[in-house]
Amino acid sequence: MLSVVVFAPLALGLVLLAVPRVPDRVVLWSWVAVSVADLALVVALWIGYDPVSGIGHETNLRWIPTVSAGYHVGVDGLSLPLVAMTAVVFAACAVYSLRERRAVRPYVVLFLLLQTASLGLFVALDLILFFVFFDVSIVAMYFVIAGWGHGERARASALQFFLYTFLGSLVMLLGFIGLYLAGGTFDIVELAASNPLAGQGVLGGLVLLALVVGLAIKTPTVPFHTWLPPAHGDAPAAGSAVLAAVLLKMGTYGFVRIVMPILPESWRQYASVIVIVGVVSVVYGALVALAQTDLKRMIAYTSVNHMGYVILGVGAAGLVAGGAEQARTLAVTGAVTQMVSHGLITGALFLLTGVLHARGGTYDMAAYSGLARPAPRFALLFAVAAFASLGLPGFSGFIAEFQIFTGSLGQAPVATAIALLGILLTAALFLLALQRVFLGATEVPAGRHIGDVTAVEATAIVPLLLLALVVGVFPAFLLEVVEPAARAVVELVAR
C-alpha cells in the first residue's frame, strides 16, 4: 500500500499526459482528488502503524542485484510524520493551485511528479532509491521555477538552484558509493546494522564529509544556503511552499535516516562541528532575514534559521559524552518534530505570500501598509502563521524548539544559549513585518486592489495552520510515533 501512496500521483500524471484535450478544470480537480485520496491512505497507514515495531509497511524487492540495490521501502517514526506532512502540504498546494491558469497541464504533471519523488524519498530504505527520488525532485522543481516563476530572473534562479543542488546530490552520491564499497550493499537497514566504516577513521571522515556537504546544500545550512533566497524569491507560491516545506526536509531527513545510523563513529567525532554549523545557521539566517525588505526572501531566510535548529538537535545527539541518553533522544525527537512543524507553518506562510503577490503584484514590504483594514481575514491568517513560526507556545514550533533546546542544553550549553538568540531575532523580524504590512494607514501598489482571502485560498491554508495548532496543543499523537524511532537512532549513534 505504501507503493500505491508513492506512485498514485505519478500514475495520474502519466494519465494526464496520455489523454489528449483534458479541460484545465478537470486536470486541477483530479490533482486535488488524488492528493486528498493519498492523504487518506497515509492516515490509514498511520493508524495501522505500531510505533514500537520499528519499520512498518515494508516492501523489499530485488532491483539491481549486481550492486545489491533493491526496491526497499517502509516507514518508521522518522519517516511517517514526514510522509504525512508531505501529503498534507501537497493537498494544500493542489487546492491552492485551483486558480492557476498558465499552462495548467504541465504544471500539474510536474507537481504530481514532485509529489511522487517526495513521498518516495521519505519511504526509501535504499540509498540508490533515495538518490533517484532526490534527483527527480530537483529536475521537477527546476522546471516549476523556470516555467512558472516570476519573469526572466526566475530562469537564472532556477539554473542556480539546479546546479547547486545537483552538485550537492552528486557529492552525496560519492559518499553513497563509499558506503557501498565499505558495506557491500546500498540497503540502508543493512548498512546501519553492519556499521561498515567502524574503526576506519580517515575513510569514515571522508564519507561523512561527502554526505554532510551533499545534505547540507539541500537543507541548506550556512555556508551552502545562497541558492535558497533567489529560488524562493522567483518561484511560484505553490512551488515555494513545496520547496520549503518538503524539499528542504530531504536534507535534514538524510541526516537522521542515513548519516547518523550508518556512520555513528564519525558522527560522534565531528558532532561539535555540526553543532557549530547549526548555531551559525540559526543566528546568521535570522540576522539576514531581519535585513530583508522582500517578504518572500525574508521567509526564505527564516527557513535557514529553522533548519539550523534541526542541525543543532541532530549534532547535539552526537555529543555522547556530555548528556544522558534521554536528553539526546529528546533532541532528535525535537529535530523531527521541527521538520514537520516547519513544513506545515512555512508552507502556509509561502501560500499566504502567494495570496499577497496575486493581489499586489510585488513582495516588497515597503509597497504595502495597513492591509488589516481591507483584508482582515488575510491579516489574521498571516499573523497566526507568523506567531506559529516564531515559536509561540500552543503551536507546533514551540514543542519542537523546546525539545531541541532541552535536549541540547546538557551537551552543548554555550551553543544552545547562542541559538536561543535566534528565537528572539525571529520574533523581532516577524513582528516588524506584521507591523509594516498590516498596521498603519492603508497603502497598496498603484492601481491594485487588495481583496481578502477567498474561500479556495482559505481551504488551502487554514488546515495547515490548524494542524500546527493541533500538534502544538496535543503533541502526544505525534511524539509517541517519533520517540521510539529517535531513541533507536540515538542508540545507533552511541554504539
Q: For residues 322 and 439, is the Cβ–Cβ distance under 8 A?
A: no
Question: Given the complex with another protein, which of 14 and 427 has the nearer CB atom?
Answer: 14
Q: How far is the CB of 105 from another protein (least distance, A)?
A: 9
Element (H, E) at 60: strand 56-64
Q: How far is the CB of 176 from another protein (least distance, A)?
A: 9
Q: How far apart are CA 209 and CA 278, in angstroms?
A: 16
Q: How far apart are CA 409 and CA 401, in angstroms?
A: 12
Question: Given the complex with another protein, which of 173 and 310 has the nearer CB atom?
Answer: 173
Question: Given the complex with another protein, which of 147 and 374 has the nearer CB atom?
Answer: 147
Q: How far is the CB of 64 from another protein (least distance, A)?
A: 4
Q: For residues 434 and 383, is the Cβ–Cβ distance under 8 A?
A: yes
Q: How far is the CB of 236 from another protein (least distance, A)?
A: 15
Write the DSSP assignment of 377-404 as a string of letters. Answer: HHHHHHHHHHHHHTT-TTSHHHHHHHHH
Q: How far is the CB of 69 from another protein (least distance, A)?
A: 8
Question: Given the complex with another protein, which of 19 and 163 has the nearer CB atom?
Answer: 163
Q: How far is the CB of 17 from another protein (least distance, A)?
A: 8
Question: Given the complex with another protein, which of 185 and 302 has the nearer CB atom?
Answer: 185
Buried b (16+ CB within 10 A) or exposed e, 50-81: ebeeebbbeeeeeeeeeebbbbbbbbbbbbbb
Q: For residues 164 and 231, is the Cβ–Cβ distance under 8 A?
A: no
Q: CB-based burial of residue 344 (10 Å sphere; 0-12 exposed, 13-18 middle, 19+ buried)?
A: buried
Which residues have C-beta within 8 Å of that of residue 146, sequence separation ≥ 6? 154, 155, 158, 159
Q: How far apart are CA 104 and CA 112, in angstroms?
A: 12
Q: How far is the CB of 244 from another protein (least distance, A)?
A: 23
Q: How far is the CB of 301 from another protein (least distance, A)?
A: 25
Q: How far is the CB of 159 from another protein (least distance, A)?
A: 6
Question: Given the complex with another protein, which of 184 and 445 has the nearer CB atom?
Answer: 184
Question: Given the complex with another protein, which of 85 and 172 has the nearer CB atom?
Answer: 172
Place of cell 525588505: 293
Question: Given the complex with another protein, which of 23 and 393 has the nearer CB atom?
Answer: 23
Q: How far apart are CA 83 and CA 234, in angstroms?
A: 26
Place of cell 556537504: 213
| 75: three-class secondary structure by DSSP | strand
Question: Given the complex with another protein, which of 126 and 457 has the nearer CB atom?
Answer: 126
Nearest CA among 338, 346, 287, 289 for reference residue 309:
338
Residues that bind another protein (CB under 8 A): 62-67, 69, 106, 128, 131-132, 135-136, 138-139, 143, 146-147, 155, 159, 162-163, 166-167, 170-171, 173-174, 177-178, 180-181
| 144: three-class secondary structure by DSSP | helix
Q: How far is the CB of 103 from another protein (least distance, A)?
A: 9
Task: Report CA 215 to chain centroid distance, whole Å.
Answer: 12
Question: Given the complex with another protein, which of 163 and 456 has the nearer CB atom?
Answer: 163
Q: How many residues does the chain have?
A: 495
